[in-house]
Amino acid sequence: MGLREDLAALTDEGTAAFAAATTQDALETARIAFLGTNGREKDLTKAFGALPGPEKREFGPLLNQAKTAVKEAFDAAKARLADVEADAPIDLTLPGPARRQGSLHPVSQVSREVEEVFTSMGYEIADGPHIELDEFNFSRLNIPADHPARDHQDTFWLSTGKLLRTHTSAVQSRVYPKVQPPFRKVVVGKVFRYEAVDATHDNTFTQVEGFVVDTDITVAHLVGTIRTMLTALLKRDDVEVRLRPSFFPFVEPGFEVDVRLTKADPASRFSRWVELMGCGMIHPEVLTAGGIDPTRFQGFAFGLGMERLVMLRHGITDIRVFHGADLRSLRQFGN
């Protein structure tokens, strides 16, 4: 066969192959055979290139016609198959794309549980502002301006002279003038300290403050409340609790409560004592500053680090997980 017949065959067979393609796969197979790098059109273009000059003039227009015809047949088939796909019926019974459901942050989850545990014990929920006055955060809690205890809580001071509250004890100062005993209050809220961040210290964290004022309140009530709270919240049977005498200007006597998990891996942070909270009997000066007569009433108060509690409960070894915004960590606690 000569080149003339070959070009006619390319046109006929190529247009027929593209017209017959009913799937994307068939179209691609035909494209490779006729228009691909080693396809028939390339072969004939090469054969044309080897012709002597006068014959090139004769065959040039024929080659171009064949190429145009095959390319048009390919484009038409491609458009036809695209339309077929667009018209394909939609299966309404197929499941839609799964939507990932959000969940409460682990600290929020336990905060709600804390509020439930305490309301079941007759406590009322109280709250106060994050931006606080020196008076409520320190002075009314028996921490005057020159008191060295201020050094324990590195404070973010604002240019207005106000501060970001360093502890939820500030809410005690706000509540006392407004209510007369007996009362039981619980506060869950954010507090802020200008601290170097490490595995157990953050600069923004959550505290739970409980305070009870009544007649005949003793340290035994305080210890009983702490045990009830930790049993309900830690949901473990290996929690060991110890009280150490400690100093906070707003309580007398004062204690720190440490916790360890007896079944934790000996190499783990939690097999050693972790400081969880401060507590004590409310100082008479604090009651007096709040308008409560300390000769008639006594009370206890405690302030607990919520992130540390959640760490103990879930075996989390680094506090930075909570504000790190790494959803891979937080999703594990979805409820």
Footprint of ligand FA5 (CB under 6 A): 153, 167, 169, 193, 195, 201-202, 205, 207, 209, 248, 251, 254, 275-280, 301-303, 305, 307-308, 319
Question: Closest distance between ligand FA5 and the C-beta of residue 219, in Å?
Answer: 12
The structure tokens listed for 170 are 């500030």
Smallest separation (angstroms) from ligand FA5 to the CB of 172: 7
Instruction: Enter the DSSP assignment of 154.
Output: -
CB-based contacts of 316, cutoff 8 Å, min separation 6: 310
Residue number with CB closer to ligand FA5 (31 or 165) = 165
Report yes or no: 273 and 258 within 8 Å, Cβ to Cβ.
Answer: yes
Q: Retrieve residue 189's tokens.
A: 């809220």
The minimum distance between CB 267 and ligand FA5, in angstroms, equals: 22
Q: Hey, which residues does 192 pair with through a beta bridge? A: 204
Both tokens of 183, joined, read 């009362």
Q: In this complex, which beta carbon is closest to ligand FA5, that of residue 39 or of residue 303?
A: 303
- Smallest distance from the beta carbon of 301 to ligand FA5, in angstroms? 4
Task: Count other Cβ atoms within 10 Å, centred on residue 292.
Answer: 21
- Shortest Cβ 136–ligand FA5 spacing (Å): 12
Nearer to ligand FA5, 138 or 333 (CB): 138
Q: CB of residue 327 vs ligand FA5: minimum separation in angstroms?
A: 22
- Cβ proximity to ligand FA5: between 27 and 310 the closer is 310
The sign of the torsion formed by the CA atoms of 117, 121, 122, 125 equals negative
Three-state SS for 289? helix
* Nearest C-alpha neighbor of 215 from the set 173, 253, 182, 172: 182
Residue in this structure with the two tokens 């600290």, named with its chain if needed: 107
Please state the φ and ψ torsions of residue 298, each to the nearest 5 degrees.
-130, 170
Provide, rounded to whole angstroms, the least separation between the CB of residue 199 and ligand FA5.
Answer: 10
Q: Which residues pair with 257 in a beta bridge?
A: 243, 277
- Calpha distance 83→68 (Å, rounded): 23
Q: Residue number with the shortest CB distance to ligand FA5?
A: 305
Q: For the stretch 86-112, what's the b/e string if a residue is b when 16 or more beta carbons lie within 10 angstroms of its beta carbon?
A: eeeeeeeeeeeeeeeeeeeebbebbbe
Name the helix (H) or strand (E) containing 230.
helix 219-234
Residue number, 48 or 247, with CB nearest to ligand FA5: 247
* Nearest to ligand FA5 of 184, 308 (CB atom): 308
Instruction: Give 320's strand partners.
Output: none
Measured from the CB atom, the residue of 13 and 214 that comes closer to ligand FA5 is 214
> Closest distance between ligand FA5 and the C-beta of residue 275, in Å?
5
